[in-house]
Amino acid sequence: MPELPEVETVRRGLVPAMEGRVIERAEVRRPDLRWPFPDCMAERLGGARIDALGRRSKYLLLHLDTDETLIVHLGMSGRMQVDEAPTAGFVQDTGGAAKHDHVVFHMAGGARVTFNDPRRFGAMDLAATDRLDDHWLLAKIGPEPLGNSFDERHLIEAFAGRNTPVKSALLDQGIVAGLGNIYVCEALHRAGISPRRKAGRIAAPRVAALVPVIRETLRDAIEAGGSSLRDYRQADGAMGYFQHTFRVYGREGDACVTDGCGGTVRRIVQSGRSTFYCAQCQR
């Protein structure tokens, strides 16, 4: 499932084709994805202008001039791809509707933005913009890791007394938004913290030092266009490249890249998810 860097990369790629532009027509080609589409979605989107294209955690937010916001989740295999938009710098042409093109936005200016989702684990919903923070998908999400509210004090307080492994704590979207398996593994390796260590037993200075490491990891991933492991693609169809600089994720048995470490990357399973780390330099 795409994590924060992938969704942010998609958002940035969609801005030239969608932000400030009118949805001349929306095609909704099936009644549902992970759950049913909102009532009359095509009619509510048609003719609306996208005033701003935002992101909250792993959700894309299309803020409309109709005082509604379209919430988009890419799910396991969803893609938002721009085609036939030379004025926006995109020149791809899919050559017609593909089998899994479920929603198509025909934008003023000639761009066509297609939501393609073979597994149909993605989702869309419309919500009143002034009540967006109360929407059930967003209401319990913690602070954005690249925002000002995610700071040393917040993380220290969130970890205090927790008996869960630090990796599980960082995957808790109520503590910090948008982190997933890949970037938690990578950030913990950069910070030298074992994913098995109990969150509440990590000294406050080490927790505080983890905050800038998380930010740095995410910024590096966004700069690289995210990580393409299976289905993820950027809005112009290009793959991400951060996977080529993974320090531990997916590198079981490889030598640790930390200078002077001499350890090897291990894989364990935590809460049903693969965790990659170096027991030699992560304590």
Mark whether 93 and 198 lie in a shared domain.
no
Q: Of the residues 2, 5, 16, 195, which is catalytic? A: 2
The whole model's pTM is what?
0.89
**Residue 63 is assigned to a structural domain of this protein:** yes
Res 126 pLDDT > 90 = yes
Q: What's the order of all strands across the beta sheet hosting 123-128? A: 50-56, 59-64, 68-73, 123-128
- Among candidate residues 25, 120, 206, 273, the one labeled active-site is 273
- Residue 253 within any structural domain of the chain: no
CATH number at residue 231: 1.10.8.50
Decide: residue 262, CB within 10 A, 0-12 exposed, 13-18 middle, 19+ buried: exposed
φ, ψ dihedrals at 164, nearest 5°:
-90, 155
pLDDT at 76: 85
Q: Is the pLDDT of residue 132 over 60?
A: yes
Q: Is 58 a catalytic residue?
A: yes
Q: Same domain for 116 and 163?
A: no
Burial of residue 174, with CB atoms counted within 10 A of its CB: 0-12 exposed, 13-18 middle, 19 or more buried: exposed
The reply to whether 112 and 181 lie within a common domain is no
Tokens (6 digits) for 167: 């990796």
- Of the pLDDT bands very low, low, confident and very high (cuts 50, 70, 90), residue 238 is low
- pLDDT at 272 > cutoff 70: yes
pLDDT tens digits along 247-260: 999 999 999 999 99
Where among 104, 134, 164 does a domain terminate? 134
Q: Quick one: pLDDT at residue 237?
A: 55
What's the pLDDT tens digit per position in 15-48? Answer: 999 999 999 999 999 999 999 999 999 999 999 9
Could you confirm whether 2 is annotated as catalytic? yes
131: left (phi over 0), alpha (psi -120 to 50) or beta: alpha
Active site residue 273: yes
Write the pLDDT tens digit of every residue in 48-106.
999 999 999 999 999 999 999 999 999 988 889 998 544 444 444 444 457 899 999 99
Span 191-200, average pLDDT: 98
Closest CA to 83 of 13, 8, 30: 13
For residues 124 and 54, give the distance between their C-alpha atoms in angstroms, rounded to a whole number: 14
Considering only 73-77, 83-87, 112-116, 195-199, which range has the smallest mean pLDDT? 83-87
Catalytic residue among 55, 58, 79, 112: 58
Supply the CATH number for residue 55's domain.
Answer: 3.20.190.10
pLDDT value of residue 241: 52
Q: How high is the mean pLDDT of the chain?
A: 90
**166 and 202 belong to one structural domain:** yes
Quick one: pLDDT at residue 271?
86
Structural domains in the chain (count): 2
Domain containing 159 equals 152-246
- The answer to whether position 251 is within a domain reads no
| Cβ neighbours, 10 Å, residue 111 | 21
Whose tokens are 């001499």? That residue is 262
Out of 3, 6, 8, 68, the active site residue is 3
Distance CA(68)–CA(63), nearest Å, equals 6
